[in-house]
Structure 1
Amino acid sequence: MPRDVPRLYVPIPMHQGMILTLEDAQAHYLLHVMRMNVGSTLHIFHDDAGEWLARVVSCNRKTLHIEIIERVLPPQLSPDLWLLSAPIKGKRMEYIIEKATELGVRKIVLVRTERTIAAHLSEDRLNAHAIEAAQQCERRDVPKIVPIQPLAHILEHWDVQRPLLYGDETGAGMRADRAMAGLTYPLALLIGCEGGFATHELEMLRAHPATIPLHLGEHILRADTATIAALTLVQHYSASMI
């Protein structure tokens, strides 16, 4: 796709000939940033519908109406990889959402650990960052963000058929090549908060039948750095899993 063609996610499936109304932030972006007008073209996408060429058929200062012309790419779900992330403060959590989206995570589950100290999270804002990242990196689906849940609750209800790698900051984890040997999707990755896991949380993780401790190097990493490092390792070693 030419880089100068705008690309937007819409929350509903589309079909040829359909007329969609774009308002608010999307309309502002197309009208006042991209300077689109009647006849301008763009690409829109949805998880279940793929990517489509569309054309502006009418607009005013706050609203655009676009017509769906033809599908240019079929639906494509990212590999069944989940990220379990203990929220951290400020824009660094938004950064994690952005990079997890770019690295192909299908679902992001927010996890409350004993040492989680992040302030109130705006799920709408996090979703907006996931959508924006998906638009920019040209993936055809947007990761689902699951509201925050206690770690103990997640482990209690965890499907043991989905291996759960977790960043083990104690140094007892396995190297990525060993940790991922023989694994296939579905798969999940858990990264704790800045203070690491509490002792009883590490005991819960080590006792769980689905968990695998992952070594992320000799240094103590910030949560956002650990997330990107771990996802990059998973992406590297998952080439033979797809």
Structure 2
Amino acid sequence: MRANYKMQRLYVPQDLSSGAAIEASAEQSHYLSHVLRLGEGAELLLFNGRDGEWLARIEAKAKKSVRLRAVEETRKQPAHPDLIYCFAPLKQGRLDYLVQKAVEMGAGVLQPVITQHTQIARPGIERLRANVVEAAEQCGILALPEVREAQKLDLLLASWDHDRRLIFCDESAQTDNPLPVLRDVAERRLGLLIGPEGGFSQDERRQLHALPFVTAIPLGPRILRADTAAVAALALIQASIGDWQTI
């Protein structure tokens, strides 16, 4: 069942069940009362990434607090997406965009990767998680991606599960069409690796090409910025061998 886009959706960390009372955070209370101007009895949707989606009503309001009451489940909790999305962190504004789009496109794990040309060595993990929640609230997503701590590329590759195919976007590929390459990927457990603005170094490319669980793909005839490449690659994978085929 697809999301109800006409109702306000709110992420809460508390457990959700019929009749559960939920105290909104101070920020959420301000938003509900003073931005949306919702009164007692107003309805909205709640989710926590574990218990599905629930219709809730505003039960009580005070000056700086709002209490919500879960009424009934509107959508069951779906299976967690299996796609691991690995990316070199960008500068802040574009990193926010990249993370939000990855959530919308069905990533199950967000793994920052430090490469030789990475611009940001230590991305703010809590900000990444906040962007995950914001994207999930806006786009009807119930299964929140896991956000992992940044890891150097060589360590990521050394610990990678060889039964999971890792697809990386290689701007030096000799062809422009990624579809024939993707159609040859037999595995359905996938990871995607997007490099930094400066691209992968020659040493990194050689390392990636030498690994049996890695597949390199091009992204067309034009040079794409890293955040654009991320959206393009996710769309290609989901449409050709990912979860768009099962919808």
Short-chain TM bin:
over 0.9
State how 1:50-61 maps to structure 2 within 5 Å. Answer: 50-61=52-63
**Matched letter for residue 20 of structure 2:** M
- Whether the 8 Å contact between 1:86 and 1:113 is mirrored in structure 2 is yes
Q: Within 2, Cα distance between the matches of 1:135 and 1:42?
A: 11
Q: Within 1, Cα distance between the matches of 2:223 and 2:26?
A: 42
Unaligned runs of 5+ in 1: none
Q: Within 1, Cα distance between the matches of 2:73 and 2:246?
A: 29
State how 1:161-240 maps to structure 2 within 5 Å. Answer: 161-172=163-174, 175-181=177-183, 182-237=185-240, 238=242, 239-240=244-245
Shift of 1:199: 1.3
Q: Which moved more, 1:53-62 or 1:66-75?
A: 53-62
Match of 2:88 among 68, 86, 89: 86
Shift of 1:2: 5.2
Query: How many residues are matched?
Result: 242
Q: Within 2, Cα distance between the matches of 1:212 and 1:154?
A: 15
State how 1:22-61 maps to structure 2 within 5 Å. Answer: 22-61=24-63
Shift of 1:53: 0.6
SS of 2:150's equivalent?
Answer: strand
Unaligned runs of 5+ in 2: none
Q: Which moved more, 1:211-220 or 1:168-177?
A: 168-177
State how 1:107-186 maps to structure 2 within 5 Å. Answer: 107-118=109-120, 120-172=122-174, 175-181=177-183, 182-186=185-189
- Whether the 8 Å contact between 1:113 and 1:193 is mirrored in structure 2 is yes
Q: 1:23 to 1:196 in 2, by over 3 A?
A: same
Match of 2:75 among 53, 73, 76: 73
User: TM-score with structure 2 length normalisation?
Assistant: 0.91
Q: Which moved more, 1:46-55 or 1:116-125?
A: 116-125
RMSD, aligned CA: 1.8
Shift of 1:39: 1.1
SS of 1:180's equivalent?
Answer: helix
SS of 1:110's equivalent?
Answer: strand
- Whether the 8 Å contact between 1:81 and 1:185 is mirrored in structure 2 is no
**Matched letter for residue 188 of structure 2:** Y
- Whether the 8 Å contact between 2:176 and 2:221 is mirrored in structure 1 is no
- Whether the 8 Å contact between 1:78 and 1:104 is mirrored in structure 2 is no
1:64 match = 66
Q: Within 1, Cα distance between the matches of 2:80 and 2:176?
A: 26
- Whether the 8 Å contact between 2:9 and 2:44 is mirrored in structure 1 is yes
Q: Which moved more, 1:54-63 or 1:149-158?
A: 54-63
**Matched letter for residue 25 of structure 2:** E
- Whether the 8 Å contact between 1:167 and 1:191 is mirrored in structure 2 is yes
Q: Which moved more, 1:86-95 or 1:17-26?
A: 17-26
Shift of 1:4: 4.1
SS of 1:111's equivalent?
Answer: strand
